[in-house]
Amino acid sequence: MPAPIRLRELIRTIRTARTQAEEREMIQKECAAIRSSFREEDNTYRCRNVAKLLYMHMLGYPAHFGQLECLKLIASQKFTDKRIGYLGAMLLLDERQDVHLLMTNCIKNDLNHSTQYVQGLALCTLGCMGSSEMCRDLAGEVEKLLKTSNSYLRKKVTLCAVHVIRKVPELMEMFLPATKNLLSEKNHGVLHTSVVLLTEMCERSPDMLAHFRKLVPQLVRILKNLIMSGYSPEHDVSGISDPFLQVRILRLLRILGKGDDDSSEAMNDILAQVATNTETSKNVGNAILYETVLTIMDIKSESGLRVLAINILGRFLLNNDKNIRYVALTSLLKTVQTDHNAVQRHRSTIVDCLKDLDVSIKRRAMELSFALVNGNNIRGMMKELLYFLDSCDPEFKADCASGVFLAAEKYAPSKRWHIDTIMRVLTTAGSYVRDDSVPNLIQLITNSVEMHAYTVQRLYKALLDDISQQPLVQVASWCIGEYGDLLVSGQCEEEEPIQVTEDEVLDVLEGLLVSNLSTPVTRGYALTAIMKLSTRFTSVNRIKKVVSIYGSSIDVELQQRAVEYNALFKKYDHMRNGFHLSLLMIINFRFFVVLSSFKMVQVCLSCLCVVPILQANDLLDLLGGNDVVPVIQNTVSTKPASAGGELLDLLGDLSLSGIPPMTAYNKNGLKIDFTFERANPNPNIAVITIHASNSTEADMTDFVFQAAVPKTFQLQLLSPSSNVVPALNQGTVTQVIRVLNPQKQQLRMRIKLTYTHKGSAVQDLAEVNNFPPQSWQ
Amino acid sequence: MRFLLLFSRQGKLRLQKWFTSMSDREKKKIIRDMTTMVLARQARSCNFLQWKDLKIIYKRYASLYFCLAVESQENELLALEIIHRYVELLDKYFGNVCELDIIFNFEKAYFILDEFLMGGEIQETSKQIVNRSIEASDMLQEAVTAYLNIKFQKCT
């Protein structure tokens, strides 16, 4: 069998492949050769084969069949084999592989090898990817090795211990004795890894943290030596002595000083020294300064030091180096809550960063700018932020728009300014505005009563310019529908009123309905707006025509609305005006907002309408908590007019009349009696009170009574006294039903009862036909 | 540190070092994400990116991108120094290192990395000591090979 080709040879060959397919072919050929070589248990070339396999693995090809070979290499006595074997283990044998644990014994042996480089390999592998089981098994060996005086090994063992602690935190205690004189090392590598170990322990255990606080003076001394010492060729980086160690110590000091007055005080001097003495011309100096600033901000430093830190960050902001500006913005963002005033001093620089070309910097600057907005600087800041919104990349627009809305809401100096700001956002970034902003904005506009005319005028003008931005169009249509009368009447105090006719307004709204740019939601808004205008405008016929056209629209949502609105025209013309209509529109508008969670059962315009899940709470909120309105649960109701207080007022007081009571239902222990009153002054309304009683030994819970009446009647159900009908006739549940009977027809009713009895749900339907004639005549 | 990736301007992977355990699928996805994100960056942007909960620090040296992912509490500016230190080590070892050196001697690049970093932390801050360790290991490797060659020759 010829010797397998060398690694470099293979690499060269594969690189000559001109297509992916050619490369795949070469690889497959070589893999086959390697596989057969493995099968033959060829010791001489195993190393070479595995190396080739690792190369192919890096190109993305599967290499799992080499896992066991890696184990064999590790077990070999040749250093070359071990080197490649351990590398292969690190690349192919992570803890998710079943054969992973087979390494444990080899590693154990190699940890005690006579050659430090072999020990080093084993430590490296264990410390990089040892699983929890392996760490548990070998923790003892690691702990033993920690005592070595060999600095080459010591630094590796220390990091290995760090890894063991990360994987098996319970073993942390085991390494505590070894930390006794950790910091008295001279060797920087050992010192550095020791600081890492201490950091790890302190981060994981408050007890350890308290225990190691006593090391603060020592750490301060080491740091001082590093800064003050002269040039050390071995650790020098651009004139700074061992920056990696310095940063690591600063980080540990941060953890030790946090929340502790004494430790913080002990560090104050050295932190000030580092902050003032470090050379800032190169990145490495700034890295140390950055870490110092982070430490100062986190510990209980004195205020002078904190100001120094923020000023350093301010200086960073002016640095030419983008990375440093970015880091400054990030840090300022973290400190803006606690040191607000200090950060405010750098506001103008921060705002300038909005114009930076770098995307990461822009984002940070934007976040920080929003954090800095307050009542004093709102006008100036908003100008900058709106300018930013105009020119920024699309990825920022949504966040920026939301930020502007929030800031405007909190700090708006005047209502007009607020509305102007919103208009600006809608016109410049309208399509990026979040969906939930639309109802919020409408709420805001509604509340600014004196601005209605101005708002609707501005929105109308915006619509004339551009109808592509949906949130703008939606808010605008809603406003026009609501305040269209103000628009055509030409009243506007804030600016020059425009002259516009009803027909022009309707043209615009109809334009929205037919435009391809309008989404279905937008069309819904437009149609509703047109409908609302029927009570404000005089050209009702035109509106009627539009509405009826959409009664046969393909869009179900639109069709439904149109049909309902049509019905309003036909049946409830007298009620169309004013208050009720607004209410209907608000109800419908809420449907839009909470669209997906409402499954609207087809509202049948003849009776038997069921207004389902429309939360009665919503209704109450909309009416401003009008407590005349009853809580309607699964009621059978008339058209929206019944939701208003008007109907109830019509009913006036109730007076008892001499109509005999009756039993409507009596089954399975549940008895329902009806008692009657005739309401004054309207003789067409009968008021029925149901009394439900339960003669069984168990309560009936979740009791719900529903009723339906024929077409010619209208029915309203008020809330029941309770949902539980107590057992053994201990009490009754009462509920009031009002029935409007204008045609004085014979009263008939179908009732549905649901309740839970003895753990099971019961449901029943029944017809009630035995109403006494006096109740409906 | 979470991972270190080296890739060319065409997105070909030259070195991958993972400091936490991850499935192959996750690794492949991360490699894809990193190469796409980093290669899309404009020439004079800052070297930092935010990706999920990690900070990504990347730097281009000639035709190779070095991409390091660190956790949120780590120092990005120092991460740049770490990358630079690794490049210096490679440069000292190979003498004016270029991408081809790393392609053809990838295992050496790993060995050097393993003398500089371990388990996501720096193990040695001195350039000279790292270089000396690598040289000593290489010599050990050659010595063993030479010894075996002699032995082999004696037998034949």
Amino acid at B121: E
The answer to whether the CB atoms of A60 and B76 lie below 8 A apart is no
Q: How far apart are CA A254 and CA B75, in angstroms?
A: 13
Beta bridge partner(s), residue A691: A673, A734
B34 pLDDT above the threshold of 60: yes
The nearest CA of chain B is from the CA of A126 a distance in Å of: 9
Q: Are A627 and A634 in contact (CB under 8 A)?
A: no
Order across the sheet with B48-51: list the strands.
B13-18, B3-8, B64-70, B54-61, B48-51
The pLDDT of residue A624 is 35
pLDDT at A668: 86
Q: Are A661 and A718 in contact (CB under 8 A)?
A: no
Q: Are the beta carbons of A468 and A488 closer than 8 angstroms?
A: no
Residue among A10, A44, A58, A158 with most chain B CBs within 10 A, to mutate: A58
Kindly state the average pLDDT of the residues A319-342.
88
CB nearest to B141's CB, from A80, A155, A359: A80
Instruction: For B82, name the nearest residue in chain A, comparing CA atoms only.
Output: A244
CA–CA dist A13, A22 (Å, integer) = 11
Query: HEC profile for A155-169?
Result: HHHHHHHHHHHHHCH
Q: Which residues lie across from A685 on neighbouring strands?
A: A740
Averaged pLDDT, A480-498? 81
Residues A445-458: pLDDT tens digits? 888 888 888 888 88
Share of chain A above pLDDT 70, in %: 88
Please state, as a whole number, how many other Cβ atoms lie within 10 Å of the Cβ of residue A218: 12
> What is chain A's Cα-based Rg?
40
Could you tell me the sign of the dihedral formed by the alpha carbons of A630, A634, A640, A642, in that order? negative
Q: Do B140 and A115 touch (CB under 8 A)?
A: yes
Domains and CATH numbers, chain A: 435-580 (no CATH), 662-775 (2.60.40.1230)
Higher pLDDT, A575 or A4: A4
Alpha-carbon gap, residue A272 to A292, rounded angstroms? 9
Cβ neighbours of residue A428 closer than 8 Å, sequence gap 6 or more: A386, A389, A390
Residue A631 has pLDDT above 80, yes or no: no
Torsions phi, psi of B46, nearest 5?
A: -75, 160
Decide if pLDDT at A249 tops 90.
Answer: yes
The structure tokens listed for A119 are 């020990």
Question: Contact, A476 vs A525, CB < 8 A?
Answer: no
Q: Which residues of A touch B80 (CB under 8 A)?
A: 283, 287, 323
Give, in order, the Cα–Cα distances in Å from A326 to each of A126, A356, A363, A372, B61. 37, 11, 10, 17, 21
Residue B142 Cα, gap to closest chain A Cα (Å) = 8
Q: How far is A117 from chain B (nearest CA, A)?
A: 7
Nearest to A33 by CA among A11, A49, A13: A49
Query: Is the Cβ pair B80, A129 closer than 8 Å?
Result: no
Residue A79 in this model has a pLDDT that exceeds 50: yes
Q: Which residues of A touch B141 (CB under 8 A)?
A: 79-80, 83
Q: Of A358, A361, A363, A364, which to mutate for an interface test with B (greatest number of B Cβ within 10 Å)?
A: A358
CB contact under 8 Å between B81 and A243, yes or no, is yes
* Average pLDDT along chain B: 91
Tell whether the model's pLDDT for residue A651 goes beyond 60. Answer: no
Length of chain B as a residue count: 156
Predicted confidence at residue A777, as pLDDT, reads 67
- Whether the per-residue pLDDT at A649 is higher than 50: the answer is no
The ipTM, to two decimals, is 0.94
What residues in B contact A80, CB-CB < 8 Å? 141, 144-145
pLDDT at A196 over 60: yes
* Lowest-pLDDT choice from A492-501, A606-615, A676-685: A606-615
- CA–CA distance from B4 to each of A369, B17, B36 (Å)? 33, 5, 15
Tell me what pLDDT residue A439 has: 84
Average pLDDT over residues A590-608: 31
Distance CA A421, CA A410 (A): 13
CB contact at 8 A, A243 and A288: yes
Distance from CA of B90 to the nearest CA of A (A): 17
A630 φ, ψ to 5°? Answer: -80, 160
Scan residues 73-102 of B and list those with Cβ closer than 8 Å to A. 75-78, 80-82, 85
Q: Does B111 touch chain A (CB under 8 A)?
A: yes
β-pair partners for A725: A700
Q: Which of A78, A166, A323 sits opposite B77 (nearest CB)?
A: A323
CA of A95, closest CA in chain B: separation in Å? 7
What digits encode the pLDDT tens for the residues A303-318? 889 989 999 998 999 8
pLDDT digits (tens, 9 = 90+) for B41-62: 888 888 998 899 999 999 999 9
Residues linked to residue A737 through DSSP beta bridges, in sequence order = A688, A717
Pair of tokens at residue A105: 């014994």
Say how far apart CA A386 and CA A354 lie, in whole Å. 11
Task: Assign A677 a pLDDT band (cuts: 50, 70, 90).
Answer: confident
The answer, yes or no, to whether residue B156 has pLDDT greater than 70, is no
B131 inside 8 A of chain A by CB? no
pLDDT tens-digit map of B85-129 = 999 999 999 999 999 999 999 999 999 999 999 999 999 999 999
Among A318-332, A559-573, A634-648, the range with the most confident prediction by mean pLDDT is: A318-332
Least CB–CB distance from B119: residue in A8, A79, A159: A159
Residue A625 pLDDT class (50, 70, 90 cuts)? very low
Determine which helix (DSSP H) or strand (DSSP E) holds B67, and give its type and residue range: strand B64-70
Q: Stretch A723-736: mean pLDDT, rounded? A: 87
Is residue A672 within a helix (H) or strand (E), and if so which, with residue range? strand A670-679
Q: What pLDDT, on the 0 to 100 scale, is given for residue A580?
A: 44
pLDDT at residue A595 above 70? no
Q: What Rg do the C-alpha atoms of chain B give, in angstroms?
A: 18
Cα–Cα distances in angstroms (integers) from residue B23 to residues A94, A96, A249, A545, B18, in the given order: 9, 7, 34, 65, 11
Rounded CA-CA distance B44/B56 in Å is 16
Mean pLDDT, to the nearest integer, of A195-210?
Answer: 94
From residue A497, how far is each of A466, A489, A657 by CA, in Å?
Answer: 20, 9, 60
Q: Quick check: B21 and A129 CB within 8 A?
A: yes
Long-range contacts of B114-117 (CB under 8 A, 24+ apart): B114/A124, B114/A128, B116/B85, B116/B86, B116/B89, B117/B1, B117/B4, B117/B17, B117/B82, B117/B86
Least confident of A43-57, A183-197, A625-639, B121-135: A625-639
Q: Which of A188, A294, A322 sits opposite B46 (nearest CB)?
A: A322
Q: A659 pLDDT exceeds 90?
A: no
Size of interface A-B (CB pairs under 8 A): 158
Nearest CA in chain B to A242: B125
Per-residue pLDDT for A566 more than 90?
A: no
Residues of chain B with C-beta less than 8 angstroms from the C-beta of A54: 106-107
Q: Do B126 and A188 touch (CB under 8 A)?
A: yes
Tell me how close the Cα of A46 comes to any Cα of chain B, in angstroms. 14
Sign of CA dihedral A731, A739, A719, A612: positive
How many residues belong to chain A?
777
Which pLDDT tens digit goes with each residue over A347-391?
A: 988 998 888 888 888 888 999 999 999 888 898 899 999 989 888
Judge whether B149 is closer than 8 Å to chain A, CB to CB: no
Query: What pLDDT, on the 0 to 100 scale, is given for residue B152?
Result: 61
pLDDT at A596 > cutoff 50: no
Give the confidence band of A648 by pLDDT, cuts at 50, 70, 90. Answer: very low
Quickly list H helices, chain B. 24-40, 76-94, 99-104, 106-116, 127-155
A175 band by pLDDT with thresholds 50, 70 and 90:
very high
Higher pLDDT, A509 or B156: A509
Q: What is the pLDDT of residue A554?
A: 81
pLDDT at A728: 85
Q: Given an 8 Å threshold on Cβ–Cβ distance, is B46 in contact with A325?
A: yes
Residues of chain A with C-beta less than 8 angstroms from the C-beta of B40 = none
Which of B75, B103, B136 is the closest to A117 by Cβ? Answer: B136
Residues 5-44 of B with CB under 8 A from A: 13-16, 18-19, 21-23, 28, 44
Complete domains list, chain B, with CATH: 3-154 (3.30.450.60)
Task: Name the residue in chain A with its Cα closest to that of B45.
Answer: A358
At a CB cut-off of 8 Å and minimum separation 6, what does B1 contact?
A: B19, B68, B69, B70, B71, B74, B79, B117, B120, B121
